[in-house]
Structure 1
């Protein structure tokens, strides 16, 4: 818990995030009065570390302009608003404007109409409110992944978002968390032809997992043991949408298609054709599985696992 508490953003940092959101909203609304700016990603889903950059999504109904044109116009608006280090990255897979706010000291990325990410953010934040063990579990797993260099998608490992989904799946398997998408929907929105519906009245689910008394440390060991020894990498897709593992055959994720390898399959809860593990390749799948096994063994056998578990990964001479 002390490691978790050291990673959580302070009240002052959260206040600065809200201050920057308000400042940018005022600037942008002068040009586009009907637009809305949303915090999304780890800074808004309650799983963000202290001192992380923040992600914003501009929701705008501007049919006369392409997304690239909006990004360029947005960069111009921000230049006029006394913001620093402004870069319009129009050729990125998701075009963004990067900036730094001299008043709060925060760096920020703004994308346009990436509303599925906003809905995903809400889903994860709602799950975090059901059982108080999810947040520290996910923070510790993310901290471990960063220490062990298995949290970079461009290197064939997994994103922080994927690790949070894996934690939710594990707690669903232990009946500590429900499956919100299998319950009668109280929240319903369609984004880019994806139907996003689930039960979001999570205050009514307090105590759902109370029958399981497992501590954070035991759940952490169980998480790594599951991914080291219990998960069927050949046949299974984890799906928090259904609250269980589903078959790779059902999704036709049994073979490589383009750059998608499907060696560890993690279904996005709303964009269900999207495998969050698709970047994992033949080399990195073994590195991941070895790290899961190492973590499980440390938590089972080491008398002082808090030191060993987070020891920085040092590449072997063969890797360098």
Structure 2
């Protein structure tokens, strides 16, 4: 009988095969022999029988998890997660499985072609090719052989990874309630009768036509028989006639158990599984893929099946165990707050700490991971004036002289002439941007320049930085160096007359509008420019202003400052991008750089007449010294890094992150608020023009911890009225 021979391996053989499979499983990074530990190696069971290649087992069970629960697909309603005592069965079609295996083989082959030295992809492709599971009939045989799943999907008695294979047969006569179930291994009367008939026919030599008649009758009888293994149901009958079988929907405990077993798999195999599942979700199952932090190079590795995800899950489990050993999360945070208070005790000496309760009840404070008990201080008497005087003195020293501004203007005119001579008839314009254009430069600042024209041509010679470099050399510029591999290609050079360092790009016009926006903000209120000069000087002094080294850029600090000034009550600055249409002329810019996968149309519309807002901040009487102290207080005490973002475009400067507000409004339970004391240390400062760009994205983790720590030290030092000491911070712990 076909079903009994293919779907009922003996318990002895199955147990032996499983033992061998577990003992030498090459997917688990255990210290075994080189042959056994080679990814994709096959192991021998007793009796000479070969165990199933373990990558196939792993990818098959992972597909089962996706198909049966959809619990990791956020685009569809969750189905199949069974948290009740009522059994739920999910049908699984052999043809669908065969196509999934075909795609898996394609993914492994494509990855190996690009990475020929990647052994795991080659071995995985070889295993899949040898097994031939892109064929429906071979999938059926494989599924029946393993009893429906392996030990990753369902580590219950009867699964390959979890003990001997045991079958329950049921005569259900038209239903599958299991009311007539029998003990494991016990054949139904119907089965026994069929086996006896087969034996009798083999002995007597039944004619071929009689055999056909028997087969038809047998098929009819077997329509009422199912095979059950660990909750997996196979409809009986000829294997070639069935198109599906059913697997149980896992509950949350079983899904967690799967994750625990999967987490022990070799990380290289985890990443190959993630690549396969990414392709299946995207191109076959048509499911939305959501990752916590999209990696533009290989986003698939951030999926729940990638090694990084598994590693993060192990870290979370380890932290939970550690917290459980120490006490509740509140206890842990309280201990951390007490430890932090001891670390900064020296800087708190002589300062009055704002106490909780009473008429001067303080606002809640936030660290990098949510609510955190931090000391607030009352600035020393005269601190605002002392700091303000220091700011104005520094400003007068740093602001360029009129003579220098004239030399800079002449330099730009000279460079314009060189370009006109080098690219005749092109009508090029040399535009200035950066700190020099925004009004925040000093005499030591570089000159940031942009070559543009009304009819810019991508293929024109002036769009080639090497050609631009040659023109500048012929024009007498020194140390000319084209940088071709940068996100925005530039030419670096030095003007021999003024000794000014210059950077020039071609048609990166967004920087021009960024600088103009900042310039307009600096002209609205007299406190803004001195405030920004001091902020830039402080972060530069403490070495935390270089985005190429994972710190924040000067541009990010300026956006944080503008956002802070917009968030004041009453505000010091307006939001120039949301003014009445009558005050703004629409301006859209086409961008071809940024490595963003094509052309972007950027809305650069804002009110470019700062004179309209001359008295906007008059209602706010805070001095520039008080504003600088409160800036560092805000970002080290009141800014919630877990839920908030700086966004100067929308008004108010600082707001709850858009994805969280949308989730709350739409009732999206998949976007959960971050837990206090947990989560990634992250700062969000949105670009005013490119709506999905976080200009602070370069700074996270320990670098952001250092920025926050320096901000806190600046807050406490300036609160003493020690402006010069803010540039020293001797003895401060900074990460």
Give TM-score scaled by structure 2 length: 0.40
* Structure 1 residue 215 displacement after superposition: 0.7
1:7 aligned to which of 377, 391, 398? 398
Q: Is 2:713–2:729's contact at 8 Å kept on the other side of the alignment?
A: no
Equivalent pair of 1:55/1:108 in contact (CA under 8 Å): yes
* C-alpha distance in structure 2 between counterparts of 1:206 and 1:249, whole Å: 31
Give 2:412's aligned residue.
Answer: 21
Distance 1:247 1:196 in 2: 24
Q: After the TM superposition, which of the residue ranges 241-250 and 100-109 deviates more from structure 2? A: 241-250
Q: Which runs of 5+ in 2 are unaligned?
A: 1-391, 591-600, 663-670, 673-679
The answer for the alignment partner of 1:230 in structure 2 is 638
Contact 1:147/1:313, CA 8 A, preserved across alignment:
no
RMSD of equivalent CA atoms? 2.3
Pick the aligned partner of 1:55 from 442, 448, 465: 448
2:596 aligns with none
SS at match of 2:559: helix
Q: CA deviation at 1:95?
A: 0.6
Aligned twin of 2:550: 156
Q: Is the 8 A contact 2:641 2:681 kept in 1?
A: no
What's the counterpart of residue 115 of structure 1? 509
1:165 corresponding residue in structure 2: 559
In 1: Cα distance, 2:658 partner to 2:516 partner: 30
The residue number in structure 2 matching 1:189 is 587
Task: Indicate if the aligned counterparts of 1:184 and 1:198 stay in contact, CA closer than 8 A.
Answer: no
Matching residue of 1:239? 647
**Larger relative CO (CA 8 A, sep 6+): 1 or 2?**
1
Q: In the alignment, which residue of structure 2 is the partner of 1:248?
A: 657
In structure 2, the partner of 1:311 is 728
Unaligned stretches of 5+ in structure 1? Answer: 256-260
2-structure distance, mates of 1:246, 1:296: 22
Rounded to whole Å, the distance in 2 between the matches of 1:78 and 1:219 is: 44
CA deviation after TM superposition for structure 1 residue 106, in Å: 1.1
Q: How does 1:82-161 map to 2 (within 5 A)?
A: 82-161=476-555
Kindly indicate whether the alpha-carbon contact (under 8 Å) linking 1:47 and 1:139 is maintained by their aligned counterparts in 2. Answer: yes
* Pairwise CA distance, 1:312: 6.4
What's 1:281 paired with? 700
How far 1:313 sits from its partner (Å)? 7.0
Which residue among 576, 582, 590 is the counterpart of 1:180? 576
Q: In structure 1, what is the Cα distance between the partners aligned to 2:681 and 2:427?
A: 41
User: In the aligned structure 2, how far is the partner of 1:314 from the partner of 1:138?
Assistant: 26
SS at match of 1:225: helix
Q: CA deviation at 1:6?
A: 1.1
SS in 2 for 1:108: strand
Q: List per-residue Cα deviations over 1:250-308 (Å, max 9, x = no partner).
A: 289x99xxxxx8810000100121101101121011111111111111122x24x1221
Give SS of 2:521's match.
Answer: helix
1:263 — aligned with what?
682
Given the two structures, how large is their TM-score scaled by the length of structure 1? 0.90
Q: Is the 8 A contact 2:602 2:689 kept in 1?
A: yes
1:155 shift after superposition: 2.5
Aligned to 1:258: none
Of 397, 422, 429, which aligns to 1:36? 429
Q: CA deviation at 1:4?
A: 1.4
Check whether the contact 1:162–1:277 (CA below 8 A) recurs between aligned residues: yes
| CA deviation string 1:97-120 (max 9, x = no partner) | 111111222110001111011011
More helix by share: 2
Larger Rg: 2
TM-aligned CA distance change 1:49 to 1:314, over 3 Å: farther
Alpha carbons 1:74, 1:97 under 8 Å: kept: yes
Higher strand share: 1
Q: Deviations over 1:42-96 (max 9, x none)?
A: 11101112311110011141233378x6211111111111111111111122111
